[in-house]
């Protein structure tokens, strides 16, 4: 695998063990709340996580120029799953006080390296383009295949939901499509803009019934 | 290392966005939303069949004083008239129907059967299927307030507040202008949620989670509740600076100052620290860290420790001493420097001496690992 400069920077930063704060809260019924914490651990980044991150960079190469603001390990995911996760926070300029600049957050399962959550963008769209559902569906399948590999993508064969909305984000109007791909026990929801860029990715477990 | 304020803001925005996208199934459905229109239908049908009209002035006055004692008197007559109709149809159900049915002599067994299921409505809180608010209402632990704000012709009146240091609920009415198209009025009203609240007095720990629900009472009249689950320690009384807003049009924001008071003494609430811990078959461990009791809410805080990085799916059920499952009203997990903590909130009309906590892992109960938690 070709080593990206971005990865090297990441590894260096990691080696220095960045002290970061970790937050993960989920709530049923009421809204989630955030609580400050400090849970960074001196632990090396698993190879599977690194490989998974590399796949994301291939999907969204512009992230390679963004700055890593931190990497942290925690025992709970954004969606409230109790599992070891690695979270990377990236910023367009590296200065979080720069107004109007974007940030991204990526979360991976620490054992399997699978991508659990990604929130990037919004990426500037050249103009408002009206796309058909088929365009987004095809693009969604491509992105799934790039991120998960074609074999794993086969599990997520059902498209349970698809919507196309035009909205105003950060001062510019753009079109976004949300598509949910369902497997037996999990689902992945993608948000794709009219340029075909992945803006959000959320992989969550479907609720388990109590016996 | 201190976190950048922008990071915190970004996370909070994201959390809020996620909450807005939460499926409606997560919001507690209100059976009364369906019962109230039926009730109105029954009343109208009775009126038609028996030529009985609206209750006498005394009954109307009683209904008004009961439910809307805190409504501002300077309101225009139009909303009042509309509310009067609503009160007749729904809020005054018990007195009006009793009066009507006595007059009718229960002429129709079918109607009589239907009316058995009609609830007595004396509070906005009663319109919603929230155990906490209903129990608080029954125990007389609701504070009547009188706060209105008008923005873009929409009047929001908060008339009830419940607070026990663990949960805070507000009940309010939304009167939409009748110039609005009916469908649009409903859409807008249902978009109005509690945006934020701050305290007039500085409070160290203001972490909180909240939910809002709105129900249509009539074409242009809506009732809403917001329930806030508080984190940390809160004072016995404070002024809540509540902001309700239309989440698709943030310029429509209603600012209200609400007096919040714990309607009971310190003796009536306590915090227990039981030394109970348990390890499940998977070596996933939990500890009952804290139990907080108020006359309405009971909070159980667990600390959870996974043995490794693998995926764990713990869940819990609570049973009363008779083995009956207790409905968990609110469950949340939090991760901070102390590890993973889970908070379970339940409400009791009559608090049992103890409850049993049954752990589950990946949907499978482990009754042999159940723990008994004293509430005394």
Indicate which CATH number applies to the domain containing B281: 2.60.40.1640
pLDDT of residue A210: 72
Task: Indicate if A12 and A62 belong to the same structural domain.
Answer: yes
Task: Indicate if A95 and A140 belong to the same structural domain.
Answer: no
Q: Which residues contact A155 (CB under 8 A, 6 or more apart)?
A: A183, A184, A186
Q: With beta carbons under 8 A apart, name residues in chain A contacting B207.
A: 33-35
Q: By the CB < 8 Å criterion, does A100 face chain B?
A: no
Separation in Å, CA of A100 to nearest CA in chain B: 11
Q: By the CB < 8 Å criterion, does A132 face chain B?
A: no
Q: Which of B166, B209, B307 is most worth mutating to test chain A (most A CB atoms within 10 A of its CB)?
A: B209
Task: Indicate if A73 and A177 belong to the same structural domain.
Answer: no
Task: Indicate if B227 and B305 belong to the same structural domain.
Answer: no
A96:B6 CB<8 A = yes
Task: Indicate if B254 and B297 belong to the same structural domain.
Answer: no
Instruction: Using the 3D structure, point to which of B215, B234, B261 is the last residue of a domain.
Output: B261
Task: Indicate if B223 and B204 belong to the same structural domain.
Answer: yes
Task: Indicate if B210 and B316 belong to the same structural domain.
Answer: no
Nearest in space to A103 (alpha carbons), one of B73, B91, B3, B373: B3
B209:A30 CB<8 A = yes
Nearest in space to A78 (alpha carbons), one of A162, A185, A201, A161: A201
A23:B311 CB<8 A = no
Boundaries of domain holding B145: 5-261
B11:A23 CB<8 A = yes
Instruction: Using the 3D structure, point to which of B261, B279, B299 is the last residue of a domain.
Output: B261
pLDDT of residue A171: 64
Number of domains in chain A: 2
Number of domains in chain B: 2
Query: Can you give the pLDDT of all 376 residues of chain B as single tens digits?
Result: 444 444 544 444 444 334 333 322 222 222 222 223 333 334 334 444 443 333 444 444 443 444 333 333 323 322 222 222 222 223 333 333 333 333 333 334 443 443 333 333 457 888 887 888 888 988 888 998 888 999 999 999 998 999 998 888 999 999 999 999 999 999 999 888 887 777 665 554 455 667 788 989 888 999 999 888 887 778 888 888 888 888 888 788 899 999 999 888 777 889 999 989 999 999 999 999 999 999 999 999 999 999 999 999 999 999 999 999 999 988 888 888 889 999 999 999 899 999 999 999 999 999 999 999 999 8
Task: Indicate if B314 and B248 belong to the same structural domain.
Answer: no
Look up residue B91 and give its DSSP letter: I
Task: Indicate if B143 and B278 belong to the same structural domain.
Answer: no
DSSP labels, chain A: -PPPHHHHHHHHHHHT-------EEEEESS-------------PPPHHHHHHHHHHHHH-GGGGGSEEEEEEEEEE-TT--EEEEEEEEEESSS-TTSTT--EEEEEEETTT--EEEEE--PPPPSS-----HHHHHHHHHHHHHHHH-HHHHTT--EEEEEEEEEEEETTEEEEEEEEEEE-SSEEEEEEEETTS-EEEEEEEEPPPPP-
Task: Indicate if B317 and B241 belong to the same structural domain.
Answer: no
Instruction: Using the 3D structure, point to which of A55, A90, A119 is the last residue of a domain.
Output: A119
Boundaries of domain holding A139: 133-205
Task: Indicate if A15 and A103 belong to the same structural domain.
Answer: yes
Is A167 domain-assigned? yes
Instruction: Using the 3D structure, point to which of A67, A86, A119 is the last residue of a domain.
Output: A119
Indicate which CATH number applies to the domain containing A94: 3.10.450
Task: Indicate if A113 and A153 belong to the same structural domain.
Answer: no
Element (H, E) at B98: helix B93-104
Output the average pLDDT for chain A: 77
Task: Indicate if A60 and A143 belong to the same structural domain.
Answer: no
- Assess whether pLDDT exceeds 70 at residue A25: no
Residue A58 has phi, psi (to 5 degrees) of -70, -35
Task: Indicate if A61 and A151 belong to the same structural domain.
Answer: no
Task: Indicate if B246 and B97 belong to the same structural domain.
Answer: yes
Task: Indicate if B279 and B370 belong to the same structural domain.
Answer: yes
Task: Indicate if A158 and A101 belong to the same structural domain.
Answer: no
Task: Indicate if B210 and B62 belong to the same structural domain.
Answer: yes
Q: Which of B211, B313, B336, B339 is most worth mutating to test chain A (most A CB atoms within 10 A of its CB)?
A: B336
Would you tell me how many other CB atoms lie within 10 Å of the CB of residue B50?
13
Task: Indicate if B214 and B341 belong to the same structural domain.
Answer: no
- The whole-model pTM stands at 0.66
Q: By the CB < 8 Å criterion, does A16 face chain B?
A: no
Q: Which of A22, A27, A105 sits opposite B335 (nearest CB)?
A: A22
Task: Indicate if A11 and A95 belong to the same structural domain.
Answer: yes
Is A114 domain-assigned? yes
pLDDT of residue A18: 30
Q: Which has more pLDDT, B327 or A38?
A: B327
Q: For the residues A15-41, what does the mean pLDDT come to? A: 36
Q: With beta carbons under 8 A apart, name residues in chain A contacting B7.
A: 69, 89, 96, 103
Task: Indicate if B244 and B139 belong to the same structural domain.
Answer: yes
Task: Indicate if A102 and A69 belong to the same structural domain.
Answer: yes
Instruction: Using the 3D structure, point to which of B236, B261, B286 is the last residue of a domain.
Output: B261
**A99-151 pLDDT, tens per residue?**
778 889 999 999 999 999 999 877 776 566 788 889 999 999 999 999 998 88
Distance (Å, rounded) from C-alpha B140 to C-alpha B143?
A: 8
B309:A75 CB<8 A = yes
């Amino acid at each position: 695998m070709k080593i990206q400069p971005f990865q090297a920077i990441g590894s260096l930063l990691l080696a220095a063990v960045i002290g970061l704060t970790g937050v993960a809260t989920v709530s049923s019924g009421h809204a989630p709340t955030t609580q400050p914490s400090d849970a960074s651990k001196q632990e090396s980044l698993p190879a599977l996580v690194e490989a998974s991150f590399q796949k994301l960079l291939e999907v969204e190469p512009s992230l390679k120029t963004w700055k890593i603001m931190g990497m942290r390990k925690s025992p709970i995911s954004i969606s409230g799953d109790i599992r070891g996760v690695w979270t990377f926070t990236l910023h367009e300029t590296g200065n979080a006080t720069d107004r109007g600049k974007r940030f991204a957050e990526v979360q991976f399962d620490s054992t399997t390296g699978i991508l659990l959550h990604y929130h990037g963008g919004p990426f500037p769209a050249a103009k408002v383009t009206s796309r058909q559902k088929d365009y987004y569906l095809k693009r969604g399948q491509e992105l799934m295949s790039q991120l998960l590999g074609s074999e794993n993508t086969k599990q997520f064969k059902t498209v349970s939901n698809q919507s196309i909305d035009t909205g105003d984000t950060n001062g510019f109007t753009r079109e976004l499509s949300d598509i949910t791909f369902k497997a037996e026990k999990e689902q992945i929801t993608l948000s794709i803009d009219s340029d075909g860029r992945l803006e959000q990715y959320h992989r969550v477990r479907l609720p388990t019934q109590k016996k | 290392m201190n976190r950048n304020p922008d990071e915190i803001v970004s996370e909070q925005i994201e959390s809020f966005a996620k909450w807005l996208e939460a499926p409606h199934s997560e919001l507690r459905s209100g059976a009364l939303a369906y019962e109230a229109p039926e009730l109105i239908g029954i009343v109208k049908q009775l009126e038609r069949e028996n030529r009985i009209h609206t209750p006498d002035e005394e009954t109307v006055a009683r209904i008004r004083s009961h439910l809307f004692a805190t409504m501002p008197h300077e309101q225009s007559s139009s909303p009042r008239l509309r509310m009067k109709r609503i009160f007749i149809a729904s809020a005054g159900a018990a007195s009006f129907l009793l009066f009507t049915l006595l007059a009718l002599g229960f002429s129709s067994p079918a109607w009589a059967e239907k009316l058995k299921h009609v609830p007595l409505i004396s509070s906005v809180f009663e319109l919603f299927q929230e155990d906490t608010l209903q129990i608080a209402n029954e125990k007389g632990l609701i504070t009547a307030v009188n706060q209105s704000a008008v923005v873009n012709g929409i009047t929001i009146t908060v008339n009830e507040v419940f607070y026990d240091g663990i949960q805070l609920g507000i009940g309010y009415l939304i009167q939409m202008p009748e110039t609005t198209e009916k469908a649009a009025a409903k859409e807008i009203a249902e978009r109005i949620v509690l945006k934020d609240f701050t305290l007039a007095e500085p409070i160290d720990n203001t972490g909180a989670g909240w939910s809002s629900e709105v129900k249509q009472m009539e074409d242009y009249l809506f009732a809403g509740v917001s329930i806030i689950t508080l984190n940390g320690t809160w004072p016995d009384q404070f002024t809540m600076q509540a902001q309700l807003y239309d989440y698709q049009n943030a310029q429509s924001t209603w600012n209200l100052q609400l007096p919040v008071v714990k309607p009971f003494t310190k003796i009536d609430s306590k915090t227990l620290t039981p030394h109970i811990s348990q390890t499940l078959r998977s070596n996933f461990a939990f500890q009952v860290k804290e139990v907080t009791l108020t006359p309405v809410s009971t909070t159980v805080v667990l600390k959870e420790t996974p043995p490794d990085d693998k995926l764990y799916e713990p869940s819990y059920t609570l049973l009363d001493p008779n083995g009956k499952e207790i409905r968990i009203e609110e469950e949340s997990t939090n991760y901070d420097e102390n590890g993973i903590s889970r908070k379970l909130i339940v409400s009791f009309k009559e608090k049992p001496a103890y409850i049993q906590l049954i752990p589950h892992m990946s949907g499978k109960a482990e009754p042999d690992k159940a723990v008994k938690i004293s509430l005394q």
